[in-house]
Amino acid sequence: MKKKGKKQKQKVSTKLNLAQIVGIIFAALFLFLLPGQSYYQTLILNYYPPKIRSSRFDDFTPSPYPVKFTNAVPPIITASAAAVIDLDSGVPLYQKSTTLRLKPASITKLMTALVALDYYQPDDIITVSKLVTISGDSKMGLKLGDQLSVRSLLYGLLLPSGNDAAYVIADNIPGGYEQFITSMNKRAEKLHMYHTHFSNPTGRDEDDHYSTVYDLIILTRAALQNQQVAEVVKTNWTTVLDVFGTKSFPLKNVNELLTTYTGIYGVKTGYTELAGQCLVATAKRGNRKILTVVLNSKDRFRESTELLNFGFDNFRLKEQTELR
């Protein structure tokens, strides 16, 4: 009798356990199927239309893109490195060894001018208290004791490519010459001229003074964006005076293309024994602007002329919508 009673209790217990399990399952399903009431469930179920804000680029119109429309080949040139660039879009039309490190010669003075204007205002007056003279240097014609505005010194720096003007500008900033060279290299780094190093403000040949066509394109574009520098480099000739108006400095630009190529408006020549003939030049024809660079050329003006003509004569601008 005891065994039978025990078995009946086990059956009842088993039934109760099954009933409890089934009840728990139904309760869980019931709760699971109920509409969500938590914050996150409500957030997911509710729809909110997206908030749209107009972009500052909504009215952006990309620059026209230069497209070659002839089968003409680039001119044969002696320059060790060169480039033709559509100035507005930055698109290269011709490239030769653009990352080759070479001597930039007096094209360096574009950086000298930019750094000078970081420290000085154009009307600031500088007194020539020290002169650095090296045989064979191009000169503005400064003498000890001369007093000139920075603007006048920039004309002397960039037209006749006066090394005397470069040294006077560099020597007179706070921190002096060494600080000026440091600032030149910092500005180069800021412009992402990663294959350039300056060791002087003139472009004189030194082992650690070098650049590339690619970097000089960057430098030239930065110089042309500076209103003061852009005004100076397009000037063929001028006469500047000292602050007293008693001494004059007649200055002639050594960039021959200013008088031989229609539409030219700058930029800078360079020459040393190691650098060879160098030139960055810009010209405008219609709605097009082209920049050329030649380094270590045997005939910089002829080759720059041929490269400018190649860019103008064989490429035309197309709107970006026409290229799709």
pLDDT digits (tens, 9 = 90+) for 71-98: 999 999 999 999 999 999 999 999 999 9
pLDDT band at 29 (very low <50, low <70, confident <90, very high): low
User: Does a structural domain hold residue 59?
Assistant: no
For position 60, what pLDDT does the model report? 57
Range with lowest mean pLDDT among 31-40, 46-55, 60-69, 75-84: 31-40
For position 136, what pLDDT does the model report? 72
pTM to 2 decimal places: 0.80
Instruction: Give yes or no for residue 11 having a pLDDT over 80.
Output: no
Range of the domain at 250: 65-289+299-322
User: Does a structural domain hold residue 118?
Assistant: yes
324 compared with 174, residue with greater pLDDT: 174
106 is known as an active-site residue:
yes
109 is known as an active-site residue:
yes
For position 283, what pLDDT does the model report? 98
Q: Catalytic: which of 109, 211, 297, 304?
A: 109
Q: Which residues contact 12 (CB under 8 A, 6 or more apart)?
A: none
From 270, 264, 273, select the one nearest 307 (Cα to Cα). Answer: 264
Range with lowest mean pLDDT among 30-44, 118-132, 214-228, 266-280: 30-44
Q: Catalytic: which of 161, 183, 297, 304?
A: 161
Instruction: Give yes or no for residue 58 having a pLDDT over 60.
Output: no
User: Does a structural domain hold residue 17?
Assistant: no
For position 12, what pLDDT does the model report? 47
Q: Are 177 and 168 in contact (CB under 8 A)?
A: no
User: Does a structural domain hold residue 40?
Assistant: no
Instruction: Give yes or no for residue 10 having a pLDDT over 60.
Output: no
What is the overall mean pLDDT for the chain?
88
| Structure tokens belonging to residue 92 | 């290269």
| Structure tokens belonging to residue 255 | 């960039």
Instruction: Give yes or no for residue 2 having a pLDDT over 50.
Output: no
| Structure tokens belonging to residue 216 | 């000089």
pLDDT band at 282 (very low <50, low <70, confident <90, very high): very high
Q: What is the tally of structural domains in the chain?
A: 1
Range with lowest mean pLDDT among 25-29, 152-156, 178-182: 25-29
Range with lowest mean pLDDT among 33-42, 106-115, 141-150, 315-324: 33-42
For position 132, what pLDDT does the model report? 80
**Residue 278 phi, psi dihedral angles, 5° rounding:** -130, 150
User: Does a structural domain hold residue 136?
Assistant: yes
124-134 tens-digit pLDDT: 999 999 888 77
Q: Catalytic: which of 96, 106, 183, 211?
A: 106
For position 321, what pLDDT does the model report? 59
Q: Is 252 annotated as a binding residue?
A: no
13 is known as an active-site residue:
no
Rounded percentage of the chain residues whose pLDDT exceeds 70:
80
Rounded percentage of the chain residues whose pLDDT exceeds 90:
75
Distance CA 111, CA 211 (A): 12
User: Does a structural domain hold residue 37?
Assistant: no
User: Does a structural domain hold residue 244?
Assistant: yes
| Structure tokens belonging to residue 126 | 């500088």
Q: Specify the DSSP class assigned to residue 205.
A: -
CATH assignment at residue 204: 3.40.710.10
User: Does a structural domain hold residue 23?
Assistant: no
